[in-house]
Amino acid sequence: MTAAIRATSALVILAGVLIGGTACRRARGEPPADPVTEVFQRHDQEEGLTRVQTDGKRLFAHYCATCHGEAGEGDGQNAYNLDPQPPNFRESLKEHEPSYWRQIIEGGSAAVGRSPQCPPRGRTVAAGDIDALVAYLEVLGTPRPPTPPAPSAPPAR
Amino acid sequence: MRAPQVAPTRMHAVFAALGVAFLAIFAWVFFQEYLAEWRTTQAQFRRFEREVKDPHALSLAPPVGGIRQIWLTDLDRVDRCTTCHLGVDDPSFADAPQPFATHPGAWMRTHPPDRYGCTICHGGQGEATTYRDAAHGEIPYWPEPVRAGQLIEANCGSCHRQRVVPQAFWLTSGREHIARAGCAACHDIPGFSREEVRAPRLESVGYKLQPGWIDGWLANPRDYLAQARMPNFRLPPDEIAGLSAFLAAQRAVAPLDSSAVNWETADGSRGRILFGEARCVTCHMIDGRGGTLGPDLSAVGNKVRREWLFSFLKDPTRDQPDTLMLRYRFTDDEIRDLVAYLTEELVGVDTGRSGAAPDVRYQNPALLEQGREAFIRHGCYGCHRFAGMEDLPKIGPSLVGSGDRAVEPEEFQGEAVNPTLPSYLFLKVREPDKLTEQSRMPTYAFTELDAASIVLGLLSIRKGDLAASRVTNAPRPEPYEPQGAFGALVNRYRCLSCHQVRGFGGTLSTVPLDRIGSQLQHAYLVSYLQNPGAVRVDIEERMPNFKMTAEEARTLAEYFSTVFIDDALEGPFQVDADAARRGERLFASLGCRSCHIVGTSGGYIGPDLSDTGRRLKPGWIDAWLSAPDTWKPGTLQPDYGLKTEEVRDLVTYLMTLTTASAGRNP
């Protein structure tokens, strides 16, 4: 009988060690910081944009900002050569749906019956990039809330 | 019948205990399998799907069940990620929480999962079916984690080996930092060559520098220039003294004789005007404005001797045979005035070192030898090519496979970071001496973001080689070395510092020369080379005014017009008044004037078109308007999808445009 008790208790201890080990592994505290991840997270926080919106911002700076201005306020350096002048996106974007903006980006402003000054990009800019531009326009069209204070704890991973 | 007596009760008890134990283990295994993480996840997904989709869409959706996997046969790689990530290819889950969310962006279209799977891009353990085993997140010492956020761009780079990867901004930025910082001067890094690293040759530097300047520069280059490209080698004073003596003694090629120059008559204000006319700012920065191809000149007056500068401007190749700097055709008086402007007006804060007595330390042979040793020990010859040191090895370890490097606990020197390869590389790049005592790697002025993007560049260099069909590499251009009179001019005016021919040359200019003879008219080339006017109103990086002779301009233009030709762009062109009228109407209705000036009005984005009829060749305009992006990817010129006749009408109209006054250059 003693052998049986011994065998059972050995198994119980083995199981205990296994379960305990797993539990300990899970109970360990927050891992220390990943500097690279944090640098990028800080950057994203300052920008307040998602990845796709960030792509859109870069495309906007390349294709649009010379007329529409870096912040989309219609004050790009070429704006003053245009008649009519480009609108201030902070005001004008809420008048239409994103599908309308997409129509302009792809087919040019003439495609929606406005002046022909904003050229079409549908043949040269990839569909995914136009998605990104539209995503960034949504940011430009929304009044920005004051930046929230940076959270002290790193986000859960 | 009686069996032998072998302690039956004891054996029974042992067997019974073992039986129970095995039963328990067996049950436990089944129970675990039944409760497997992926089953729970799939059950959650089914509930979630019912909320997201209407009954009709739900009835069409394929049933979810069992382990799902993508098998990439050529890599023998199995990705089971879609067992839990069940909504990746279904747009109805765009706002769903992980692991069910739709894959963002257009990536699933550009990288179809049946060819790429998941882990090639994301990293992690494809065969795993639990969150933990799949290696989500940066796990200590684990070489293949799922790379989240911007870190994923490191994985883009293991296939996309060309320097610029348009969709991977931070990776590209990291690679550009690696190239610009000259990492390849000391390390073997696949995709980067030591030849790209250009620092001045130092064999004649003893003639160049003002006494005392070099000591401050060696102690910390950023005291002289905030944006100095040379990093800080953290040199102790005795090494600075040795190096300073060694460098002062380097006098291989004496500067051109400037004894006839009357410095009394030098006029700095004329020099300043000349500096502007010649468009030196295209390459040189002054107080934060200007290009970065050449050195920043904000405080050059503290650095160089005027006799050396006079000689350098007269013939830059005299002691710098590989310089990017062109040889202007300035007169001696012009050079004198330029030198006066540069050395007298471009002076930084007084370091207290200028005006020191002439340096004589170089006469001390022991100090000289000490300096030479330090020069070699710190691998100065990596960036500064030096006669007799061409065959010395790179002083840093090879970075081949740096993305697969294993990190060890003791390498972190107790730094409170997650011990992973990205953490290690970040610390090393930012503060090289923190992790390795007496590291010879110098300290750069990288910002946190620079360093993080460099880490991406280094992580993208993997050991295991992928099949060639999966890798994209930038083509390696053949060196282009034209001969004869044309070659001599290309060399003198350093055309290839900015322009490319067959992919070889600089990237400052966006105009490759390969077909320039089919783009621009011969007469225009001749006049433009002599007086490069601004075709674009708003561009800062303009072609320098070389002060080239008419003869030289004709030689260059002749060669361009006969050799740099694209036959596909050459064709007959007929003037047709009706077509021109139709073209003019089209020009107005497309809104071309928003970006282009014609006559007195128009936009600042594209080139001024007022003199197109004497500037461009019709075949080129035709090809450009038909498909601008094929000639210049990412160009702002829109593709209107014009019909052949419409293009022809526009070309005909544009060819009628000339400036009224014949004397005016466009």
DSSP A66-127: HHH-TTSSS--TTGGG-SSPPP-HHHHGGGS-HHHHHHHHHH-GGGGTS-TTS---TTTS-H
pLDDT at A29 over 70: no
**What are the chain B neighbours of A110 within 8 Å (beta carbons)?**
591
C-alpha–C-alpha distance, residues B189 and B205, integer Å: 29
Q: Any bridge partners for residue B318, and if so which?
A: none
pLDDT at A15: 62
Backbone angles phi, psi at B652, to 5 degrees: -60, -45
Q: Which residue of A has its CA nearest to B425?
A: A36
Rg (CA), chain B: 34
Which residues neighbour B593 within 8 Å (Cβ) at sequence distance 6 or greater? B587, B601, B602, B603
Q: How many other C-beta atoms lie within 10 A of the C-beta of residue B185?
A: 24
Q: Any bridge partners for residue B78, and if so which?
A: B71
Backbone angles phi, psi at B633, to 5 degrees: -55, 135
What are the tokens at A56?
């859109």
Is the peptide bond prior to B200 cis by the omega test (within 30 degrees of 0)?
no
C-alpha–C-alpha distance, residues B85 and B117, integer Å: 12
Residue type, B1: M
Express each pLDDT in B249-265 by its tens digit.
999 999 999 999 999 99
Residue type, B315: D
pLDDT at B364: 85
Q: How many CA atoms lie within 13 A of A106 on its CB side?
A: 14
Q: Does residue A77 belong to the interface with chain B, where contact is any CB pair within 8 Å? A: yes
Express each pLDDT in A86-136 by its tens digit.
999 988 888 889 999 999 999 999 999 999 999 999 999 988 899 999 999
C-alpha–C-alpha distance, residues B31 and B25, integer Å: 10
Is the peptide bond prior to A84 cis by the omega test (within 30 degrees of 0)?
yes
Q: Beta B285-286 vs B289-290: how paired, if at all? A: antiparallel
Q: Does residue A51 belong to the interface with chain B, where contact is any CB pair within 8 Å? A: yes
In terms of phi and psi (left: phi > 0; alpha: psi -120 to 50; beta: otherwise), the region of B301 is: alpha
pLDDT at A157: 35
CB pair distance less than 8 Å for B603 and A78:
yes
B343: DSSP letter: I
**What are the chain A neighbours of B150 within 8 Å (beta carbons)?**
40
| pLDDT band per the 50, 70, 90 thresholds, residue A24 | very low
Q: Strands (DSSP E) along B431-582, which ranges?
A: 500-501, 504-505
Q: How many other C-beta atoms lie within 10 A of the C-beta of residue B649?
A: 23
Tell me which residue of B335, B368, B353 sits closest to B547, measured CA to CA. Answer: B335
Which residues 578-607 on chain B approach chain A with CB closer than 8 angstroms? Answer: 589-591, 594-595, 601-605
pLDDT at A16: 57
CB B183 within 8 A of CB B192: yes
pLDDT at B524: 95
ipTM of this predicted structure: 0.84
Q: How many other C-beta atoms lie within 10 A of the C-beta of residue A147?
A: 9
Mean pLDDT in each 10-residue stretch from start to end of chain B (666 residues)?
66 93 94 87 90 84 85 90 91 89 86 92 91 85 89 94 90 96 95 90 94 92 91 95 92 92 94 94 92 93 95 95 95 96 86 51 81 96 94 94 91 88 95 86 95 97 80 87 96 96 91 95 95 76 91 97 94 90 95 93 91 95 95 93 95 90 39
From the list A34, A39, A42, which residue is nearest B138 (CB)? A34
C-alpha–C-alpha distance, residues A16 and B612, integer Å: 86
Q: Does residue A16 belong to the interface with chain B, where contact is any CB pair within 8 Å? A: no
Helix (H, G, I), strand (E, B) or coil at B77: strand
CB B619 within 8 A of CB B573: yes
Q: Does residue A130 belong to the interface with chain B, where contact is any CB pair within 8 Å? A: no
CB pair distance less than 8 Å for B422 and A36:
yes
pLDDT at B252: 93
DSSP element (H, E) containing B71: strand B70-72
**What are the chain A neighbours of B589 within 8 Å (beta carbons)?**
116
CB A131 within 8 A of CB A139: no
DSSP element (H, E) containing B560: helix B550-563
Q: Beta B77-79 vs B70-72: how paired, if at all? A: antiparallel
Query: In this structure, which long-range contacts are made by residues B466-472, counting pairs with CB atoms below 8 Å and at least 24 apart in sequence?
Result: B466/B75, B466/B158, B466/B159, B467/B74, B467/B75, B469/B74, B470/B74, B470/B75, B470/B120, B470/B159, B471/B159, B471/B161, B472/B159, B472/B160, B472/B161, B472/B162
C-alpha–C-alpha distance, residues B298 and B286, integer Å: 4
Express each pLDDT in B552-601 by its tens digit.
999 999 999 999 999 999 888 888 899 999 999 999 999 999 999 998 88
CB pair distance less than 8 Å for A1 and B137:
no
pLDDT at A118: 95
Rg (CA), chain A: 28
Q: Any bridge partners for residue B472, and if so which?
A: B160
* Between residues B454 and A1, the one the model is more confident about: B454
Rounded to 5, what percent of chain B is helix, strand, coil? 45, 5, 50
B13: DSSP letter: H
C-alpha–C-alpha distance, residues A48 and A57, integer Å: 12
From the list B150, B417, B451, which residue is nearest A32 (CB)? B417
pLDDT at B534: 72
pTM of the model: 0.86
**Apex A85 CA angle, A83 and A87, nearest 5:** 150
Give the number of residues written for chain A: 157
CA B614 to chain centre: 37
pLDDT at B334: 96
C-alpha–C-alpha distance, residues B18 and B427, integer Å: 54
CB B131 within 8 A of CB B144: no
From the list B105, B151, B416, which residue is nearest A36 (CB)? B151
C-alpha–C-alpha distance, residues B420 and A7, integer Å: 42
pLDDT at A149 over 50: no
CB pair distance less than 8 Å for A34 and B422:
yes
pLDDT at A128: 85
In terms of phi and psi (left: phi > 0; alpha: psi -120 to 50; beta: otherwise), the region of B70 is: beta
C-alpha–C-alpha distance, residues B172 and A6, integer Å: 64
Q: How far is B85 from chain A (nearest CA, A)?
A: 17
Q: Does residue A108 belong to the interface with chain B, where contact is any CB pair within 8 Å? A: yes
Question: Sign of the C-alpha dihedral, residues B214, B219, B224, B226?
Answer: positive
**What are the chain A neighbours of B538 within 8 Å (beta carbons)?**
77-78
pLDDT at A17: 54
Tell me which residue of B96, B102, B103 sits closest to B44, measured CA to CA. Answer: B96
